[in-house]
Structure 1
């Protein structure tokens, strides 16, 4: 790398894991075997990448992936020979920064290195075992163990080198994320500071009474909304202060008029109270007179009610006479029907006697006695018929007299009914007059009470008006003070 800090960081890593000059020499000795298997290891890794959508999306096409594989091969050559210089450190940091920039999480990067190391270590160990197998019979066990230890040291150096490379890339990845986050925080702080400065200046002017202040600077996102809300709030205050100023001017001009009107109302209330007092005195006299009228009307109503009851009783007597005459008429009718029956019987008896005489004459001497009886029966029948006729004439004369009496009694009953109706109407009208007089007296009493209440309310209203007049004067003084306070604000209209 070009800076001292990354080189020092790399040196610290190498010292911590014990990667010294001897390890670098061993890495150079192992490099041919590592590079032999690096190509297949990278092929296997990128084949896996093509099958994994989460990683393949970072490559636009096969050409892009081929360039990445070539760059990684060059980087691994530095690892294979143990060349951990500034150029290597810069390349490792560039890899970490690139991963952070594109959003490739360390888990995929570490997993890829695991696949590559797996293939390389398996290949190197396979080649070493083949070489050892060719000479194993000719060598002593101690020598073989020494060779195995040496090979273990080579593999350990390789793993250390790989882990250092992974450490640098992952650390750089997180440092990049942290740096980007700090940069975003710094920029956000700058934006917030701009807002705070603008808001502070605007609030300072607002505190001095300048409600025409507005924030014109453009901010980002929600901060711009804050500016809009501030401007809207101040604009509302501006309009309110302007409206208050106009209102105070109007209130101030009207406060005096209100006070004068209140005083005028107070004077009118005083005169009205005096007039109401006179009205109360006059109504007292009217109330007494109407009460006397109501008493007299009630007495007349009682007399009319008595007359109504007497007329009703007379009508009842006449109605009884009408009913008696009706019964007489019905009895005469029944007698007439009985006389008619007797007359019919006499007529039939006469016919029978005549027929008996005729039959007796035909019988000759044997029927003489029967003829005498028949003649007597006929004579009796004729006398009965004459008597029935005479009685019928008398009955008819009686019916005529009864009908005349019934007619007279009916007219008398009609006259009584008319009198009863007229007396009842008079009684009802007198009752209505009495009720109206009573209601009028009650209404006058209520009016009198209402006027007394009106007098009391008028006196109370006069007191209220006096207090209202005093309040109006106080309002005028307060409006003057409010005008002075509002005048210290500088509005956009000004």
Structure 2
């Protein structure tokens, strides 16, 4: 009930005016809160207070407007047809009077909401179109506005002061906004009710249609469940389902043809599986034999690999020994080079000694000449120079001995130099021989290293070949196992084909008459479709009518 929704609510809170149904929840709320409506219409507290202040003067005009409205209801042919009795008119008149008494109070409390709901429900039960309520509000509003400008002006309510003029304008605006808000709420209630009713009708129609479609296909589906593929839908179904029925029957024809072909080729598949099983067993035996041969070849290859591995190890040891020999020969070459350097130093020293001896020989020669000159000078001196002559004689003799010693040393140094030169030549030849030996040993070492690398590569290749043979052996074993499994699976497939033949024979694929009851079901579906079209057209017409009713409300709201 609306009262349960509005109880305890007032303008300070947001209380809904419309009890939303399932259709409204699915499509979104169609009616907002009262606060939103009043704010949008600019019907604030001052405007409502102004209405309450002029309410006693407006009540006679409201009563006159309601009398005029119901006079028009009774005299206008279109409106009079809406009422079935005078009692209905009286009941509606009382509700209008009660509603306008609460509305002109402009409090918009739960009592107002209840009166709006009661009036809307009563009009709905009477079958009155919402447009008559809009027209009724227009008639009463006409009397109110005319009264404000006529009656109030005659009583001096319109003096020349701007304050009175502004108050009159505010009163007219408040009356128009009050009536438009009430019209919008009432129309929203009516259309929400119509929408819910249409949804219920459509749901009922959908249930009926689903039931009719179930009746149409139920017997056929039961026959299919029992394995009867000969059942077909009649072609005299409604036009909307004729293409579906044709497709369904064509699909069943295709299934029957497929099952027939399956039954025809079943024996061929059975023979093929038996042959496949025999071939699988033969292939498994051959795969086992090939795997045994590969195992023997793998064992032989492992022996060859071991021999080559030992050769590679010996080549590696030879390479290391040759390396050590090369190192020793290179060390000997270094020693010879040092000896050559030493002999070159001796030769240089001998040459220096030769130069020194030459200097000594030159000194001895000069000393000899000096001693000779001294002897001559002593002889000239006579007895006074005799002692000096003796000394000169001794010096000369000493110089001669020094010269002879120098010549002997020079001869020895020359001999030593010649011997050193010969030794240098021999050492050079020795160095050349050692260098040749080093080069040959290096070449031998390189050849041995190449041989060792080749041997290692052969070992790796043999390892790869052994692995490949092992993999081939494993693959052959796996192929043998797969062949045995394939043979076993062929036997299982043969069993499955036999069971498939038994299953196929359970289906009935001969054509028979369509099940009874399809014609009556088709007529029910056709009736449901026609009824659905009528309801849909009615809904669309109501929506269009609602849009037409709301046009003046939107226009007034825009003007305000």
Q: Normalising by structure 2, what TM-score?
A: 0.44
Normalised by the length of structure 1, the TM-score is 0.48
